[in-house]
Structures are given as structure tokens and as C-alpha cells.
């Protein structure tokens, strides 16, 4: 049992924060990883940042889908009432399995497969993660 | 009495053997995988709102100091003569030097799947299955030097750039800070490409494989790497004796970092210890 600085329990067993929160996604990832093949892809392509080559964005619902190196990458924006307008969280899956992502203060992203270098948001930034 | 952490390139055959044996036992007992889980759980990023403890924050150094101590305690419960050696990557810079020998960590992964095939932590040896990982591969992976597109380990000059900064850390206390020792050592730079990962971060990428992802603790080199990072913190303290851990006081309500970083006298989750209490390790261990 872990207590954060403000006295709020964090990461406690039975903490039902399923959905878009970081810890909920992470737990889902760990469960999915047992026996499932989570692909080692560092995803970093977002609708606003692609060069339009491999993109297939479904208009109107903000969902992003792309096939990259034979894998289906899908991003679903998660609206969150407390966030500022235009600021969204993404639930990303690769071949249907969740890829946990964390946002960095400078706007780049970290994925579970790459925690020590940012993926800037372009497909080529994610490409080196595929090679990992 | 304080015990000693040695340079990994100076370990005797016996010391290496005992270290390996203790690691395999801690793994067998199930304790090792708890460390893997803890590191994953405590990796929070600065683009999100949670408290940051282990990374992208001033407490990066005390957090890993305590984390290392916990692993060392587990090792010493098996064999009280064992301590974690440090890997000076500014000096031991090749894929075949210490610690990448068959009697200690084994070498790089093979080309097809980056699987480590040598040494006691190779999957084929049967004593090191990855249980908490990013993929469902059960074998340890490495790609020393990133074979397809080679990179180099940080140099003494890279480290010096961090060491000479007399201030421990600076607002906003995250991965975007351009000054201060902590972020220069942790290694978050601006821009893209290899300039954006330095020192500590660069070493994780140089090793490759498991060490690049959230489950980096799966590679035992994690501890040797962080022991050196810990030693570098001690060196910085000796060089700048009047400078202490920052922030001294928590960021105020209304500040962007309110409740997102740990101040000098606040408890550092998941422990009850404060960064202040972790600043001096001299009564527990010393570096040789």
C-alpha cells in the first residue's frame, strides 16, 4: 500500500480507475501482456502530425487508424471533462492490444517500449521503436 | 559498519560468482519481479498530472538510491558479502568489456530476436524468465550499442557537463529543465535524435532490449548502471558542498507543479524516507 505525498493512496490494490487514467491503462496492459503478444512498437503518429502518407483518419469522430508494418494501430480520443478544450488523452491499441502511452511536458510521448527517449509525434520517430 | 560497492571491472571471480548466485536466488524467491513491477508503477511522466517520484523529477536520484538499497538488502539476505557493483560507462565502453562477460552479465543479444544467449541470465540457462515484461517474450533482450544504427555511451565530458552545474535542480522540476545537475544527469534534452537523450537515459538506450522500456529492471545491468548514477550524485555533492537537494519547500498551491514533485523534507513514495534523509549514504555504504 503506497501513500502519496498528499496522503492520497496511489496504486492501491482494488483501485478501480479503469478507463483512460494512466494506472488503469497500465494494469490493463499488464493483464493483457500475460499470454498475449504485445507488439514492441513505439507509437508516435497523431492525426495532426502525420505527413498524410499512411494515414487513414476517419473523418468526424477523431479516431485514428493506420496500418504500419503490417500492424493495425488505432487511436481513440478519450474526452475528459477536467481537461482543457483541445487537450485529449488517447487510448491506443496495436492489433487490438493496448499500448500504454505517457505524455511528456514538451508534447512528446513515451510508450511502454521506450521510456528513455521521446517519440516526437511523427511516424519516423516511431519507426526506430519498431526496430527496437 | 558501512559496506563497499566496487567498480564492476575490479570484481574478483568469487565476488562475481556470489553476486550472480544471490541475484538468481532473489529471482527464484519471487522478490525480483516485485522490483520490476515497482519501477513500472512509479514511472510517471511530466505531461500528466500525477506525482512524479522516480523520473523526470528532482527525486529521481534519491528514489533510485533507496530502490537500489532495497534490492541490495534482498541480495544480502541471501549472501551478506554481496553488494551491487557500479558500472562506470565512461570508462568501460565496449560490448565485450566488463560487465558483459560470460561470468557476470553475459553479452549482447543475437541478431534475430535480440535474445541474450550467454551468461547466467540467458533464457536458455533456465534461471531468468521474464515474468513482468512489455511483450510476451520470456527471454532477456539486449542490443548493445544499437547494432543497426550505432550509438556511443556517454563520455566523461558528457558527465562533466552535469557535474559542473552547481545547482541541484530548477523549476519546473521536470524533464524540460535546461539547468541543474539532476536533469543533465537523468538526460532529458530538447529536440530530437540522439541529442535529446544524454547520460543516464542514453545508457538505457545503448544497452537496448529490455533496458529501453518500462520493464528495464529485468536486465540486472539496471542496478549496476544506477549504482554508478548514484556514485555520480555523491561526487556532485562533494564538489558542491554548500548545495543541497531542491526544491527545499514544496511548490505552492496554484503552481503548476503543486503536489507533483517531492520536496526535501517530504516523504518519498513508496517509502517513508525523505530526500533529505537519503542525501548521505556514508553510514550504509561507500564507493571504492
State the maximum Cα–Cα separation within chain B, in Å, rounded to a whole number. Answer: 56
Q: Which of B51, B192, B212 sits opposite A116 (nearest CB)?
A: B212
**Considering only CB atoms, which chain A residues are within 8 Å of B212?**
113-116, 132
Q: How confident is the model at residue A35 (pLDDT cuts 50, 70, 90)?
A: very low
pTM metric for this prediction: 0.81
B43-76 confidence digits (pLDDT tens): 888 888 889 999 999 999 999 999 999 999 999 9
Q: How confident is the model at residue B159 (pLDDT cuts 50, 70, 90)?
A: very high
Parallel, antiparallel or unpaired: strands A97-99 and A89-94: antiparallel
Percent of chain B whose pLDDT exceeds 70: 100
Determine the average pLDDT of the residues in B173-186: 96
- Pairwise CA distance, residues B239 & B164, whole Å: 8
User: Between these two residues, A112 and B126, which has the higher pLDDT value?
Assistant: B126
Determine the average pLDDT of the residues in B88-92: 98
Beta bridge partners of B214: none
Q: Mutate which of A9, A24, A99, A105 to test chain B, going by most B C-beta atoms within 10 A?
A: A105
User: Between these two residues, A13 and A73, which has the higher pLDDT value?
Assistant: A73
Mean pLDDT of chain B: 95
Classified as helix, coil or strand, B75 is helix
**Considering only CB atoms, which chain B residues are within 8 Å of A10?**
50-51, 269
Range of weakest confidence among A40-44, A95-99, B79-83:
A40-44
Q: Mutate which of A2, A4, A5 to test chain B, going by most B C-beta atoms within 10 A?
A: A5
Q: Mutate which of A7, A109, A117 to test chain B, going by most B C-beta atoms within 10 A?
A: A117
Determine the average pLDDT of the residues in B74-95: 98
Residue pairs between chains A and B whose CB atoms are closer than 8 Å: 114
User: Between these two residues, A128 and B12, which has the higher pLDDT value?
Assistant: B12
Q: Does the distance separating the beta carbons of A116 and B192 come in below 8 Å?
A: no
Q: How confident is the model at residue A111 (pLDDT cuts 50, 70, 90)?
A: confident
Query: B271, B219, B236: which is closest to B73 by C-alpha?
Result: B271
Q: Which long-range contacts (CB under 8 A, 24 or more apart) does B80-85 make?
A: B81/B15, B81/B18, B82/B15, B82/B18, B82/B19, B82/B22, B83/B3, B83/B4, B83/B5, B83/B6, B83/B285, B84/B5, B84/B223, B84/B224, B84/B227, B85/B5, B85/B6, B85/B7, B85/B8, B85/B11, B85/B15, B85/B19, B85/B224, B85/B227
User: Between these two residues, A82 and A98, which has the higher pLDDT value?
Assistant: A98
Q: Does the distance separating the beta carbons of A106 and B190 come in below 8 Å?
A: yes
For residue B163, CA distances in Å to A13, A87, B176, B229, B288 come to 40, 37, 18, 11, 19
Determine the average pLDDT of the residues in A8-34: 32
**Nearest-Cα residue of chain B relative to residue A37:** B136
Range of weakest confidence among A93-102, B41-50, B185-194:
A93-102
User: Between these two residues, B251 and B43, which has the higher pLDDT value?
Assistant: B251
ipTM of the complex: 0.78
Mean pLDDT of chain A: 50
B126-135 confidence digits (pLDDT tens): 999 999 987 7
Question: To the nearest 10°, the Cα dihedral for B77, B209, B224, B273?
Answer: -70
Give B205→chain A minimum CA distance, Å.
Answer: 7
Residue A130 has pLDDT above 70, yes or no: no
Determine the average pLDDT of the residues in B21-49: 93
Q: How confident is the model at residue A119 (pLDDT cuts 50, 70, 90)?
A: low
Percent of chain A whose pLDDT exceeds 70: 30
Q: Which of A22, A30, A120 sits opposite B44 (nearest CB)?
A: A22
**Nearest-Cα residue of chain A relative to residue B195:** A117
Percent of chain A whose pLDDT exceeds 90: 0
**Considering only CB atoms, which chain B residues are within 8 Å of A38?**
134-136
Range of weakest confidence among A109-113, B59-63, B154-158, B222-226:
A109-113
Q: Write out residues 108-127 of A within 8 Å (CB-CB) of B.
A: 110-118, 120, 125
**Considering only CB atoms, which chain A residues are within 8 Å of B44?**
22, 102
Amino acid at each position: 500500500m503506497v501513500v502519496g505525498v498528499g496522503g492520497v493512496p496511489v496504486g492501491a490494490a482494488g483501485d478501480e480507475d479503469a478507463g483512460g487514467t494512466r494506472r488503469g491503462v497500465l494494469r490493463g496492459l499488464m493483464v493483457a501482456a500475460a499470454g498475449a503478444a504485445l507488439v514492441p512498437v513505439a507509437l508516435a503518429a497523431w492525426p495532426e502530425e502525420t505527413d498524410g502518407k499512411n494515414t487513414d483518419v476517419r473523418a468526424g469522430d477523431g479516431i485514428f487508424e493506420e496500418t504500419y508494418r503490417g500492424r493495425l494501430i488505432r487511436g481513440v480520443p478519450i474526452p475528459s471533462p477536467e481537461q482543457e478544450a483541445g487537450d485529449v488523452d488517447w487510448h491506443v491499441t496495436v492489433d487490438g492490444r493496448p499500448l500504454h502511452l505517457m505524455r511528456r511536458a514538451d508534447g512528446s510521448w513515451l510508450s511502454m517500449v521506450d521510456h528513455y527517449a521521446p517519440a516526437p509525434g511523427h511516424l519516423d520517430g516511431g519507426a526506430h521503436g519498431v526496430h527496437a | 559498519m558501512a559496506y563497499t560497492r566496487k567498480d564492476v571491472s575490479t570484481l574478483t571471480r568469487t565476488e562475481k560468482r556470489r553476486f550472480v548466485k544471490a541475484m538468481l536466488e532473489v529471482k527464484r524467491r519471487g522478490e525480483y519481479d516485485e522490483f520490476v513491477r515497482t519501477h513500472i508503477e512509479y514511472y510517471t511522466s511530466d505531461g500528466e498530472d500525477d506525482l512524479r517520484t522516480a523520473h523526470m523529477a528532482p527525486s529521481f536520484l534519491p528514489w533510485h538510491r533507496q530502490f537500489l538499497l532495497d534490492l541490495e538488502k534482498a541480495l544480502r539476505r541471501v549472501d551478506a558479502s554481496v553488494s551491487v557493483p557500479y558500472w562506470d560507462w565512461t570508462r568501460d565502453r565496449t560490448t565485450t568489456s566488463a560487465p558483459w562477460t560470460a561470468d557476470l552479465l553475459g553479452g549482447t543479444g543475437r541478431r534475430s530476436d535480440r535474445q541474450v544467449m550467454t551468461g547466467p541470465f540467458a533464457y536458455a540457462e533456465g534461471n531468468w524468465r521474464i515474468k513482468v515484461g512489455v511483450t510476451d517474450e520470456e527471454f532477456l533482450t539486449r542490443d548493445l550499442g544499437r547494432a543497426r544504427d550505432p550509438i556511443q555511451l556517454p563520455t566523461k565530458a558528457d558527465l562533466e557537463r552535469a557535474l559542473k552545474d552547481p545547482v541541484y535542480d530548477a523549476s519546473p522540476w521536470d524533464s524540460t529543465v535546461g539547468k541543474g545537475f539532476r536533469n543533465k544527469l537523468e538526460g532529458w534534452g530538447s529536440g530530437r535524435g540522439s541529442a535529446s537523450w544524454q547520460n543516464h537515459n542514453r545508457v538505457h538506450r545503448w544497452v537496448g532490449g529490455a533496458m529501453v522500456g518500462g520493464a528495464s529492471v529485468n536486465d540486472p545491468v539496471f542496478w549496476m548502471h544506477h549504482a554508478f548514477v548514484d556514485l555520480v550524485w555523491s561526487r556532485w555533492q562533494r564538489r558542491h558542498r554548500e548545495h543541497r537537494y531542491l526544491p527545499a519547500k514544496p511548490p505552492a498551491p496554484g503552481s503548476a507543479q503543486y503536489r507533483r514533485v517531492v520536496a526535501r523534507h517530504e516523504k518519498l513514495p513508496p517509502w517513508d524516507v525523505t530526500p533529505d534523509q537519503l542525501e548521505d549514504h556514508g553510514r550504509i555504504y561507500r564507493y571504492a
